[in-house]
Amino acid sequence: MKENVREEEILKTIKEYGKISRLELSEIFNLTSARISKVVKNLLDKKMVVEKAVGESTGGRPPVYLSINNENFKNILGINFTSNGAIYITHGKINCEIIRKRKIILDDEDKEKALEIIDDIISKELEQDKDVGALSIVMAGVIDEEKGLSVMSPHYKLKTPKIVEYFERKYNLPVLLENDVRAMALVEKQIGSCRNTENFVIFNVSQGIGSASCIAKKVYKGYNSMAGEAGHIVINTNSIRKCSCGKRGCLEAESSEIAVIKKITSEIKIGKYSILKEILKERELNIKDILFGIRKKDFLVIQVMTEAMEYIARGLNILISILDPEKIVLVGEIFNSKFLMDTLRFELNKISLDIQKCGIEPTKLGEELYFYCSIAVVVENIFENKFFTEKFINN
């Protein structure tokens, strides 16, 4: 039997379970009830945990549940800077509760000054909420969250890659930085359909394509913090389409929202028939137009999107073969189409092994997923990242 346990370990377990009794803690940590009670008393005295509703008795005294004292922590200001120009701004608590949220849309010119825009948002939001104790920034691209760096960001330009250092110095608040799809994985793990799933993959299709893998309930980041760059798997070696990474034939260059819109636009301009031709006369096409074309059974749109689903199926098959996940959660507007989901499953079934049992489903969280991303990053790091936790608590 153990003689000791760190308070951080107890706090992490209470956070993970949401509510838990002293008896359950003693069984998990193989400690005596007296030792657990001593640690819990210290945490109660520090107001780190609170006693909540009494549970049902199984013969003796009914258990009292312990939960994290959310009121002991200040608010989180989260900013999710997506690749398609939408920014999701969220004020929340460490129990994933959202206090306030809003969404703004940037034009292409604004993407050239991403750092200044984030800075302006933080400044204005802090004026309205004086109880913010931590900042959380989520971005697309290659993120080294341990060093606080944006290593590669193909969708917007940053004056400095040292995001965390820049904002911590300016606002004297602890700052976390995370990749967008890894943040999605954290949301699905904490409040989504993967709460009881040990091994799963998030696959996101928007202006780019990315994935994130959760193995034994831990998001895998890789040696260079580049795990999950599924969009840069070369899927079509005969392609002439150049990806944002510089290679040709990447999954992102073949099947992302930008890729399929470019293909359909080019085909219409050389004379192919499509009901989207009239829309193209007025403005550029967007992904909602493509989904409209699917609903109207437009031949050109269906042809291009069927090919895109075939390439995505190949990418998913690679992930399934290597990772053997229990579930893949799909994120992106294209997966709201029943026709495209049926096409994807059909293409995947043609090339995957019969014995590979992997559930594939679109996220059930809808647009709320993007609001939760930045909050989920803090929830994951609290009590895990000691340096961040101390700054957050003492701020």
Report the pLDDT averaged over residues 192-199.
95
pLDDT of 53 reads 67
pLDDT of 113 reads 79
Report the pLDDT averaged over residues 355-374.
94
Q: Any idea which architecture 73-186+369-394 has in CATH?
A: 2-Layer Sandwich (3.30)
Nearest to 79 by CA among 40, 41, 36, 126: 126
8 A C-beta contact, residue 135 and residue 171: yes
pLDDT above 70 (res 282): yes
Report the pLDDT averaged over residues 22-44.
90
Q: Where does the pLDDT of residue 350 fall: very low under 50, low under 70, confident under 90, or very high at 90 and above?
A: very high
* C-alpha 87: how far from chain center: 14
**382's tokens:** 């609290």
CA distance 161 to 123: 20
Q: What are the φ and ψ backbone dihedral angles of 328, each rounded to 5 degrees?
A: -120, 125
**Global pTM value:** 0.90
Report the pLDDT averaged over residues 145-150.
73
Cβ count within 10 A of residue 52:
14
DSSP string, 113-143: GHHHHHHHHHHHHHHH-TTEEEEEEEESSEE
Break the chain into its structural domains and give their ranges: 7-71, 73-186+369-394, 195-364
Beta pairing, strands 142-144 & 149-152:
antiparallel
pLDDT above 80 (res 164): yes
pLDDT of 57 reads 57
Nearest to 310 by CA among 243, 262, 260: 260
Report the pLDDT averaged over residues 144-157.
70
Inter-helix orientation angle 257-269/299-323, to 10°: 150
Q: Do domains 73-186+369-394 and 195-364 have the same CATH topology?
A: yes
Helix ranges (DSSP H) in the chain: 7-17, 22-29, 33-45, 114-128, 163-171, 180-190, 251-255, 257-269, 277-282, 287-295, 299-323, 338-351, 368-381, 386-394
Q: Any idea which architecture 195-364 has in CATH?
A: 2-Layer Sandwich (3.30)
Q: How many helices (H) and strands (E) does the chain have?
A: 14, 15
The DSSP call for residue 18 is S
Return the bridge partners of 137, or none: 79, 177
């309930």: which residue's tokens? 217
Pick the CATH number of 7-71 from 1.10.8.80, 1.10.760.10, 1.10.10.10, 2.170.150.20: 1.10.10.10
Strands laid side by side in the 64-68 sheet: 20-21, 64-68, 49-54
